[in-house]
Structure 1
Amino acid sequence: MSINEDDVKNDSDNDLGDDYDYQPIAEDAAEDDDVDSLDSTSKSEEICGVKRIADLMVEDIWNLEFRTEDEACQFYNAYSCWHGFVMRKDDVVRDNQGTIISRQLVCNKEGWRNMRYLDLDDRSREAKSLTRTKCPARLRVKLDYGCGRWKVSFFVESHNHDLTPPQFAHLTYETRSMWSHCFLRDKFFGYIRTTSQCEGINSLIRFYVNRKNTLIDFMHNLDRALKEYRNNELIADFKSQCSEPVMITSLEVYERSASCYFTRNIFKKIRNEIQRVGVLNIKVLSTTLDKVKFSVTALGDLAKDRRVEVDRGKNLFSCSCKLFESRGISYSHVFCAMKFENILEFPDSLIYKRWTKNAKNEFISTEMPVNDDVERVLNF
């Protein structure tokens, strides 16, 4: 496809002068936080009196303004999703303080693979398929110091490749719900990420077992490895049950309560979260008879706004980060709300039994089962 002259205007970023440092940064994929659904983006635009993405003309895009760089990225990502291509972050311009003042967003087919990677004599595997076509489509936004908003300084609508039809454009985003981390935030995985648990066990067994072992050696060495694995677990249980950690945070009431309930390793993670309360700000958003909603932000980073809801009647807590649901430990946002509410006791709703010192009591008994068949018991 050819580029229409009406789609391209002169790029004013070249007039920044010597006070700015131009740094091209290629980012091959948009981050998860930059991905918003088309529907939510469209609704917000209609509320603001702006046309839906499907109805935007070239002139409309030239007149767009954004409050932040991220907002511009979210818009172009939704725009690309609707029109059947994938957005990629590209060049940035920074000022003397290193602050980004201009950002370019491109089609993921922008650019071309360097020829030196196409003709290699010592290639060990087949080259990847070519996907880039020097596509000219792009959007550049620039910070206007006068009004403090990000304005469009360069826009090319045309592509030089076929686009995905609108009826298929959202299939990739619908299937993301099956694997993307942002859709699994409220699913419990117990700190297991991908295959880390298997890799940890393999690393231990590999110390005892190698490919030169005979079958008998393999069985003996494997048994030794399992004994050490269980012994390490036994030592960890002993330290949790028979020792008391030193209190180091200013919120000792929460720290000491956590040390009574949780194993040593989990306690250390919770203590780290208690320490982070000191850098958090909290404000009340709404209050009803039994419930109160808070906004929790980090000092100096107001962009990361977490919403915490406290049910005073049922003594329940929920946070928009969903980290308790996925990992089973209380996070700093909840501790901040507990401090604000002057809650001194560790609520039962925040004690995940899997991480407690007594988690194994229902499965392991120290008493010998009563059985008349002594030989059967001894054999067992």
Structure 2
Amino acid sequence: MDLDANGVVFEEAWSKMVRKYGLQNNKWVLDTYNNKGMWAQSYLRGHFFAGMKSSQRCEGMHAFFNEHLKRKMKLFEFVRCFDMALYRLRNKEADAEAKTDNSDPCLTTALQPLEKHAATIFTRRLFLMFRNEIIEEALLIFDGRKEEFDHRIYKFSKYTEFGSTWEVSYHPATSIMKCSCKKFEFFGLPCSHMISVMKCEHMTEILPSCVMYRWTKQARKVGFEEARNAFFTMTCRMKQLCMAKGTNVDEGKSSLPPFGVGDPKVVNTKGNTGGSYMAKPRKPRRCQCCSLGISVLFNDW
């Protein structure tokens, strides 16, 4: 909403907190307030963070691996459990991708054309988030529309939330839509206010400007192909450099084997310079009484 986007709500809440606890002259509080643009969500709404807050992703990974790892675990046990955790994580991701590619979700909202289009372009997880925004749209109240020179401004408020207003600007010529809540800029998903404008404009598909490519079904496949091509190009380049470095210009021969990988260098072992004791013939066992070899006694017998 406008108040949150401009930081007014944050300023009021911060002032109330400072007065309540008498922190007007506290140095740490003053320094933290001066750096509010680095941590306060009200001032970060216009930047893309994929919905992550603070160290959310790092702590989420820690929580996932803590289910498989224990304290005072031996190294070989850690490697085995860590590999198993990665396997389960990859298997979960592959399962989600299979559901996205091989099944269609049930349409449950009143805006089925928009919901169906979202199901065809978004991954399953993002589709469910988009459907929640459609459900939230039912709580919005249309407060009017204002015609400008090249765009329209829609105003909305929310049921039972007095004083909260949002404005969505829509440019029909360029099909660009922006909301004052800036959820699309922050997360990359159309908000309920933008969906309400699509409903008012009788749209049956989501505007291309409201679709972030990284959340679509094709993003993973294209990204994998780009990574594979880049890796193949780098591998070929490394082969060329390695072969060129190991080529003897005078003899026309390569001093390095293919790919620059050869047998390890043989070094003398420390201590026993005469070789390994395993290579020496074992001394014959002798009888303690007559000092004859055991093998001789058995042969005579």
Q: Which bin holds the TM-score, normalised by the shorter protein?
A: 0.5 to 0.7
* Aligned twin of 1:205: 65
Partner of 2:96: 236
Q: Which residue of 2 aligns with 1:328?
A: 188
* Mapped partners of 2:89, 2:160: distance in 1: 44
Partner of 2:45: 185
2:251 is the alignment partner of 1:319: no
CA contact (8 A) 1:282 1:337 kept: no
- 2:139 matched residue in structure 1: 279
TM-score normalised by structure 2 residue count: 0.66
Cα distance in structure 1, aligned partners of 2:30 and 2:62 = 40
The residue aligned with 1:86 is 18
Q: Normalising by the residue count of structure 1, what TM-score does the alignment of the two structures yield?
A: 0.53
2:163 is aligned, of 292, 303, 314, to: 303
Q: Which runs of 4+ in 1 moved over 6 A?
A: 366-373
Residue 72 of structure 2: SS of its match in structure 1?
coil
Contact 2:153 2:168 in 1 (8 A): yes
Aligned partner of 1:87: which letter? R
Deviations along 1:330-354, one digit per CA (max 9) or x if unpaired, are 1110011111122222111111111
- Quote the offset at 1:312 in angstroms: 0.9
2:122 matched to which residue of 1?
A: 262
Q: Deviations over 1:170-197 (max 9, x none)?
A: 8664421222111011111112222221
Q: CA contact under 8 A between 2:10 and 2:42: conserved in structure 1?
A: no
Q: Could you say what secondary structure the match of 1:307 adopts?
A: strand
Asked if 1:344 is matched to 2:204, the reply is yes
Counterpart in 1 of 2:218? Answer: 358
Distance 1:193 1:35, change over 3 A: closer
Deviates more, 1:349-358 or 1:200-209: 200-209
Higher helix share: 2
Structure number with greater Rg is 2
State the 1:199 CA deviation.
2.0
Moved more, 178-187 or 213-222: 213-222
C-alpha displacement at 1:202, in angstroms?
A: 1.8
CA contact (8 A) 2:170 2:177 kept: yes
Q: 1:1-380 alignment to 2 at 5 Å?
A: 34-36=9-11, 77=15, 86-88=18-20, 108-109=21-22, 173-365=33-225
1:251 partner amino acid? L
| Equivalent pair of 1:259/1:267 in contact (CA under 8 Å) | yes
Between Structure 1 and Structure 2, the one with more strand by share is 1
Contact 2:107 2:115 in 1 (8 A): yes
Shift of 1:300: 3.1
Structure with bigger RCO (C-alpha 8 Å, 6+ apart) = 2
* Cα-Cα RMSD: 3.2
Aligned residue number for residue 270 of structure 2: none
Compute the displacement of 1:33 (Å): 5.3
Answer yes or no: is the 8 Å Cα contact 1:262–1:355 preserved in 2: yes
In the alignment, the residues of structure 1 paired with residue 128 and residue 10 of structure 2 have an alpha-carbon distance, to the nearest angstrom, of: 34
The one-letter code sitting in structure 2 at the alignment partner of 1:315 is S
Measure the CA separation in 1 of the matches of 2:221 and 2:60.
25
CA–CA distance in structure 2, aligned partners of residues 185 and 265 of structure 1? 22
- How many residue pairs are counted as aligned between the two chains? 227
CA distance 1:257–1:173, shift in 2 (3 Å): same
Partners of 1:170 and 1:364 in 2: CA distance: 47
CA distance in 2, matches of 1:222, 1:35: 42
Q: Which runs of 5+ in 1 are unaligned?
A: 1-31, 37-72, 89-107, 110-130, 132-162
- Secondary structure of 1:235's partner? helix
**In the superposition, relative to structure 1, how do residues 364 and 172 fare at CA in structure 2: closer, same or farther (>3 Å)?**
closer
**What letter corresponds to residue 18 of structure 2 in structure 1?**
V
1:86–1:205 CA distance, 2 compared to 1 (3 A): closer
1:229 counterpart letter in structure 2: L
2:222 alignment partner, SS class: coil
What SS does structure 2 have at the residue aligned with 1:225?
helix
Aligned residues of 2:109 and 2:134 also touching (Cα < 8 A): yes
- Cα deviations by residue, 1:308-348 (Å, 9 ceiling, x for unpaired): 11011110111111111111111110011111122222111
Cα gap change, 1:35/1:204 in structure 2, threshold over 3 Å: closer, same or farther? Answer: closer
Is the 1:287–1:293 contact (alpha carbons within 8 Å) kept by the matching residues of 2?
yes
Amino acid at match of 2:224: I
Matched residues in 1 for 2:42 and 2:201: separation?
29
